[in-house]
Amino acid sequence: MLVVAVPDTAVTAPLDVNLDVAALTELLPGWGTVRRSTGATRDQVLADLPRHSHAHFAWHGAADTDSPRHRASCCTTSGQRSPTCPD
């Protein structure tokens, strides 16, 4: 399992992502990769995804409520919105 934890951005209040990370790593010890904050770059996460059958994202995000499966984004550490899906 890939766990991507980005607790804060330049424009949002911090999230407590530690509970997510702790619960998943306890349930699945040694079965995954954890990327946090600046280590959770778009390029790194896209490179990690093919090696994992499941992913959990703990971060601030937004979705197009008219078509959520087509448009979703996360707030990066700089506060910019970035697509969560590959181009």
pLDDT tens digits, 16-72: 888 889 998 898 888 889 998 888 888 898 899 999 999 988 877 666 677 656 555
pLDDT tens digits, 44-59: 988 999 999 999 888 7
Q: Measure the CA–CA gap between 76 and 82, rounded to whole angstroms.
A: 7
> What residue ranges in 18-60 does DSSP mark as E strands?
33-36, 55-58
DSSP-derived 3-state class of residue 87: coil
Counting the structural domains of the chain, the total is 1
Statement: the pTM of the whole predicted model exceeds 0.75: no
Domain that holds residue 30: 2-83
